[in-house]
A and B are shown apart, each in its own frame.
Chain A
C-alpha cells in the first residue's frame, strides 16, 4: 500500500539536517508517511529518532530541508502550530497535568466556554464521547489524572490527541512506561486509529511492538537513514542487523 503512487503522502520530510553545536544530529534524512500507515522509527540511542520527530512536531527547528504536509511545504515554530496542521505528538511522559481531572486535561488550554465561564458540561460530554470512541474506560472524566494508572494516563493523552482530529500521531516510546496488558491495549488502540485513516509514527526500542502493528520500519543510525523495510517482508533479526551494522549494499528502499 505504500507504493501506491496516486495517493499523496500525509507527511514528507526531505533532506532534513539538524546540528546541535558541533554535533550533527541529523544528516540529510528523508521520511515519507502515507495516510493510515504505521511507521516504526528505530535506531540506537542518539540515532536521531526523537530529534527527527521533534522537528516534525515543531519542538525543534530544522537547519535545512523541507517538510511537506499533504504536499504543501510548512514552517512552524512551536508545537501548537504543527497541531493546526493536524500533527499530534504524544510524549513519553504524556505531558498531562496530574492535578487536573481527565476532562480538563483533554481540553488543556482550549477549554470550551460559555460566556466568561468554563462550560464544564460540554467539556465532560465531549471528553466522554472521545474516550468512548477510543474504547477507553476511565471511571469518570472528573477523576484526577494523577489517580489513574500509567496505561490509563496514556489513553487520556491519546484521547486528547485524537480530539484534535489529527492526520498524524507521533508516539514517542509509547510502551516504555507500560505494563504488558497496557501495551496490548495500546497496540489495539493504534490499530483502531489506523482503521480511521490516521497515520502514525512510533518511536520504540521494542521491535516486537512495531512488528505487531507496524506497516513499515525505518532505521536511523548516527543521524542518517540507513534502511527501510516493509514489515511483512522483513524480520526482527534483519532490522536488528541494520540497526547494528547499517544496511550494507542494498539500500534500495531508502529513497
Chain B
C-alpha cells in the first residue's frame, strides 16, 4: 500500500494502480475484521445461538449459496451491468428440479432433473444477455422484468405448492450429498462455494476473459475499438450469473430435499449488496471475486442477526407484582429487507464518496500532519453511467415514414384500449359491457393511473422509479398503523402517511441528484426499504377496520357528500353522477388534468423534457436539472402515497401484498403511452392511456372465459408473467423504432460523423 501521506500525482499511473491495489487488499481485510466484530456482537447479543460453533457453520452453509451467485454477479457488475433476476432464477432452478425429480410430477433421475434446471438457467441468462446487448434494453429493466416473469413462472408451474421428495428416492443420491454435512463436520455446500469462488476468481483475475470483463466495464467504447466483442463479454457474464443462480437453486433443493415456491425471494438484494460491499463498483470496471464472497458471508451474517433478533427483558405487571420476562425482540416478517436495502444504498455510496475522495487517506494524513493527498475532482463517471442509456436518445435519429405514425404515440395506446375492450366484449358479451364491470375496471385503473401520472414526469426526465409499489405499501401501512395502533384521527393519519411516502421520494431524489446515484439504483434500494418498513409498521399482518371517515376516499362520491351533510337532491343528474362516480376517480381526474397541463404547456414541463432529452444541453441553457429531477421523483412518490391511501380505503384494509408488481404496471403504462425508457418523451394523456391498456389486459387475462366444455380462468401468476412480457415488448418497440432511425442515419454518409459524437450508444 502506498504511503498515505505521500502526495500522488493524479496522472501518475504507476502510483495510482499501486494505491488502488493496496487499498483493495485493506478493503477485504477490513471486511474480515468487520465480520469478526459482527459475529462477536452476535455472540454477545444472543449467546445461545451464536455461541455455538455449529452456528458458524450454519451461517457459512447459508452464505455459500449467496456466495456462489455473488461470484457470477461479480462478472456482471464489473461489466457495468446488473442482474436483478438471480433470485427468481434460483427459485426457478429449485422448482424445475423439484418438478422434474419428484414422483408426483415427472419422476426423472437426479441428473436428468439437473439438466432441466440447467436448460432453464441457460435460457434466462441468454435472454438477459441478448436483451441487454443486441436489443439494447437497459440491464435493470430487462432483468427486473425477468425477475417478475421468473416469479410468475415458479408460482404458475408449481401452483404455489411445496414439493418434498420421498425419502427413499433421496437416500444415497450423489446429488443430495451436495447439501449434506460431510465427515469433517461441515456442509458440502461450503466446498462448492470454495470451488466456484476459486474458479471464478482465477477466470476474472488471471485469464483473457477476466481482462475483457474489466475492459468492457471500464470503458465499453474503448474495449470495442480494441477489438473486444463486448456483446459476447456481457452475454457471457449474464450466463455466468444465471448458471451460478441455477447452481444455488440446486444446492437449496439438495439441502431441503424439496422446494418451495418462495425459494430465492429477495436473493438478488443480498447478492448485489454482497458484491458492492465486497468492493466492486456499481460503475463497473472494479471488483474481485474474493471480496464478493466475503461480502456475501457478511451480508448473510447481518441477515441472520436481524432475523434471529436479540433477547430483551421486559417488566410486566401482573396484579401487584412486577415480573421480568425474557423475550426476543424480533423484526416482523418482511422487515429485514429494509435494512438490507439501506446497506445496499450505503455500500453503493462508499465508492464515489469515500474511495474516490480518499476520505480515509485524508483523515490519516490530517492525523499525522502530512500533506493531503490530491483528490480526483467530482466523479464524472457516475454521471456518465446515467447517460449510457440517454446517449441513445442524445444521438440524432432519422425517420420519415414511421415518424408520422409515432408522432402521436399516445394514439397507439388509445387504439390498444379500444381493441382490448372489444376483445373483452367479444369474449364475455354478457358480463363485460355492464356497468358494474366498467366501474370496477375504472377503480382498478385509478391506482395505476395515479402513479402513472407521476411516473410520466420521472421517465420524461430520463430517470426511473422502481419503488412506487413499495412506497404505496409504505404509505398504506403507515396510515393503517397510525389509525389502528395509535388511534390517530383519520385526517392526521392520512397526512402523516402521505408525508412519510413523500419522504421516501425526497430520499430517492436526494440520492439521485446530490449523491449522484443512478436513479434505478437509488430507487431499487428504496424498493426494499419502503416495503420493509411498511411490513414493520403493520407487523407483517393485515390491518383493517379503519374509521368510516377514512374509507370515504375509497367510496362513491355520494357518500362523501352525504357525510358532509350536502347530499344532492334525488332525481337530479348530479345525484346520478355522484352515485356512480367514486371519489378516487375524481381525485385522479383532478390530478391528471393539472399534471397534464403542467407537463405539456408550462415551462416546468418543457424543463422535464429538455432534461430527459439532453441533460448537458439543458444545463448549458441554465436549467437546474438536479432540481427538476428531484421534484419529479418527489412528485411520483406523492402520487404513490396518494394511491396507497386510496388503496387501503378502497379495500378497507391494508395487506402486506398491497402494491406488489405495481412498479411493473406503472412503468409499462408510461412506456406504452409513448414514453421512452431513455427519457425525453411521454405525456400524461399517454400514461393514462397506457394505464388503461394495462388495466384492461389484467382484466382480460383474469377473465373467466366460457367455452363449450366449461370455463377457464388464467391464474394470477400467469397474468404477472404476461404483464412482464408486455413491458419488455413495449420497451423493445420503443428502442427498435429508434434503431430503425439509427440504421437510416448510418446509411446517410454525410452524417456519419454524428455517430462518432454520440457513438456510445
The answer to whether A108 and B621 have CB atoms under 8 Å apart is yes
Task: Give A164 to B603 CA distance when docked, in angstroms.
Answer: 19
Is B43 an interface position by the 8 A CB rule?
A: no
1/0 contact trace for A165-202 toward B, CB 8 Å? 00000000000111101100000000000000000000
Residues of A within 8 Å of B251, CB to CB, are none
Known: A23-B11, A80-B622, A108-B617. A146 touches B603 (CB 8 A): no
The answer to whether A118 and B9 have CB atoms under 8 Å apart is no
1/0 contact trace for A135-176 toward B, CB 8 Å? 000000000011111110100000000000000000000001
Shortest Cβ distance from B755 into A: residue? A177
In the complex, chain B residues 608-631 whose Cβ is within 8 Å of any chain A Cβ: 609-610, 612-614, 616-618, 620-623
The answer to whether A97 and B603 have CB atoms under 8 Å apart is no
Task: Give A108 to B607 CA distance when docked, in angstroms.
Answer: 8
The answer to whether B610 and A118 have CB atoms under 8 Å apart is no
Residues of A within 8 Å of B393, CB to CB, are 98-99, 146
B26 → A minimal CB distance (Å): 25
In the complex, chain B residues 574-596 whose Cβ is within 8 Å of any chain A Cβ: none
The answer to whether B751 and A150 have CB atoms under 8 Å apart is yes
Q: Which of A22, A98, A151, A179 contacts B613 (CB 8 A)?
A: A98
Shortest Cβ distance from A22 into B: residue? B9
In the complex, chain A residues 83-101 whose Cβ is within 8 Å of any chain B Cβ: 83, 91-100
The answer to whether A116 and B11 have CB atoms under 8 Å apart is no
Task: Give A110 to B620 CA distance when docked, in angstroms.
Answer: 12
Q: Which of B374, B620, B751 contacts A95 (CB 8 A)?
A: B620
In the complex, chain A residues 80-138 whose Cβ is within 8 Å of any chain B Cβ: 80, 83, 91-100, 104, 108-111, 113, 116-118
Q: Which of B9, B603, B620 contacts A21 (CB 8 A)?
A: B9
In the complex, chain B residues 385-412 whose Cβ is within 8 Å of any chain A Cβ: 393-400, 403
B753 → A minimal CB distance (Å): 4
Q: Which of B399, B602, B610, B612 contacts A116 (CB 8 A)?
A: B602
In the complex, chain B residues 1-27 whose Cβ is within 8 Å of any chain A Cβ: 9-12
Residues of A within 8 Å of B681, CB to CB, are 99
In the complex, chain B residues 729-756 whose Cβ is within 8 Å of any chain A Cβ: 741, 748-751, 753-754, 756
Is A79 an interface position by the 8 A CB rule?
A: yes
Task: Give A110 to B609 CA distance when docked, in angstroms.
Answer: 14
A27 → B minimal CB distance (Å): 17
Is B327 an interface position by the 8 A CB rule?
A: no
**Among B9, B623, B749, B750: residue with most chain A CB under 10 A:** B750
Residues of A within 8 Å of B30, CB to CB, are none
Q: Which of A98, A99, A118 contacts B602 (CB 8 A)?
A: A118
The answer to whether B610 and A108 have CB atoms under 8 Å apart is yes
The answer to whether A150 and B10 have CB atoms under 8 Å apart is no
Is B173 an interface position by the 8 A CB rule?
A: no
Q: Which of B12, B395, B606 contacts A118 (CB 8 A)?
A: B606
Known: A118-B602, A177-B753, A177-B757. A97 touches B374 (CB 8 A): no
A interface residue count range (under 10 / 10 to 19 / 20 to 34 / 35 or more): 35 or more
The answer to whether B606 and A177 have CB atoms under 8 Å apart is no
A132 → B minimal CB distance (Å): 22
Task: Give A181 to B606 CA distance when docked, in angstroms.
Answer: 33
Shortest Cβ distance from B622 into A: residue? A80
The answer to whether A153 and B613 have CB atoms under 8 Å apart is no
Known: A100-B609, A145-B396, A150-B750. A95 touches B757 (CB 8 A): no
The answer to whether A96 and B614 have CB atoms under 8 Å apart is yes
Is B758 an interface position by the 8 A CB rule?
A: yes
Is B208 an interface position by the 8 A CB rule?
A: no
The answer to whether A177 and B617 have CB atoms under 8 Å apart is no
Is B91 an interface position by the 8 A CB rule?
A: no
Known: A98-B396, A99-B681. A118 touches B603 (CB 8 A): yes
Shortest Cβ distance from A175 into B: residue? B753
Q: Which of B10, B610, B613, B680 contacts A109 (CB 8 A)?
A: B610
Residues of A within 8 Å of B614, CB to CB, are 95-98
The answer to whether B613 and A99 have CB atoms under 8 Å apart is yes
Known: A98-B394, A146-B396, A150-B396. A80 touches B621 (CB 8 A): yes
Shortest Cβ distance from A91 into B: residue? B620
Residues of B within 8 Å of A99, CB to CB, are 393, 609, 612-613, 676, 679-681
The answer to whether A118 and B612 have CB atoms under 8 Å apart is no
Task: Give A182 to B750 CA distance when docked, in angstroms.
Answer: 9
Residues of A within 8 Å of B514, CB to CB, are none
B14 → A minimal CB distance (Å): 14
Known: A97-B680, A113-B603. A148 touches B396 (CB 8 A): yes
Task: Give A212 to B374 CA distance when docked, in angstroms.
Answer: 46
B406 → A minimal CB distance (Å): 11
Known: A99-B609, A149-B751. A108 touches B11 (CB 8 A): no
Task: Give A151 to B609 CA distance when docked, in angstroms.
Answer: 23
Is B601 an interface position by the 8 A CB rule?
A: yes
B101 → A minimal CB distance (Å): 52
Task: Give A182 to B394 CA distance when docked, in angstroms.
Answer: 21
Task: Give A112 to B274 CA distance when docked, in angstroms.
Answer: 51
A244 → B minimal CB distance (Å): 25
A170 → B minimal CB distance (Å): 13
Q: Which of A83, A97, A117 contacts B609 (CB 8 A)?
A: A97
Task: Give A23 to B9 CA distance when docked, in angstroms.
Answer: 10
The answer to whether A21 and B10 have CB atoms under 8 Å apart is yes
Q: Which of B9, B597, B610, B622 contacts A97 (CB 8 A)?
A: B610
Task: Give A99 to B459 CA distance when docked, in angstroms.
Answer: 13
Residues of B within 8 Å of A153, CB to CB, are 396
The answer to whether B617 and A147 have CB atoms under 8 Å apart is no
The answer to whether A177 and B612 have CB atoms under 8 Å apart is no
Known: A22-B10, A80-B620, A176-B753. A97 touches B613 (CB 8 A): yes
Residues of B within 8 Å of A93, CB to CB, are 394, 757-758
A150 → B minimal CB distance (Å): 5
Known: A22-B11, A93-B758, A147-B397. A79 touches B620 (CB 8 A): yes
Residues of B within 8 Å of A151, CB to CB, are 750
The answer to whether B612 and A21 have CB atoms under 8 Å apart is no
Residues of A within 8 Å of B395, CB to CB, are 98
Task: Give A93 to B760 CA distance when docked, in angstroms.
Answer: 13
Task: Give A97 to B602 CA distance when docked, in angstroms.
Answer: 17
**Among B622, B623, B679, B741: residue with most chain A CB under 10 A:** B622
Residues of B within 8 Å of A97, CB to CB, are 609-610, 613-614, 617-618, 680
Q: Lowest 8 A-B CB distances belong to which pairs?
A: A97-B613, A109-B621, A99-B680, A179-B750, A99-B613, A95-B617, A108-B621, A80-B622
Write the residues of chain A forming the contact surface with B, with a CB cutoff of 8 angstroms: 21-23, 79-80, 83, 91-100, 104, 108-111, 113, 116-118, 145-151, 153, 176-179, 181-182
Supply 24 A–B pairs (Cβ within 8 Å), ascending by A. A22-B10, A22-B11, A80-B621, A91-B620, A97-B613, A98-B394, A98-B614, A99-B612, A100-B610, A100-B613, A100-B680, A108-B618, A109-B607, A110-B621, A111-B603, A113-B603, A117-B597, A118-B601, A146-B397, A147-B397, A147-B399, A176-B753, A177-B753, A177-B754
Known: A98-B396, A111-B603, A118-B602. 10 other contacts (CB 8 A): A98-B614, A98-B680, A109-B607, A111-B606, A117-B602, A147-B399, A150-B754, A177-B751, A177-B754, A181-B750
Write the residues of chain B forming the contact surface with A, with a CB cutoff of 8 angstroms: 9-12, 374, 393-400, 403, 597, 601-603, 606-607, 609-610, 612-614, 616-618, 620-623, 676, 679-681, 741, 748-751, 753-754, 756-758
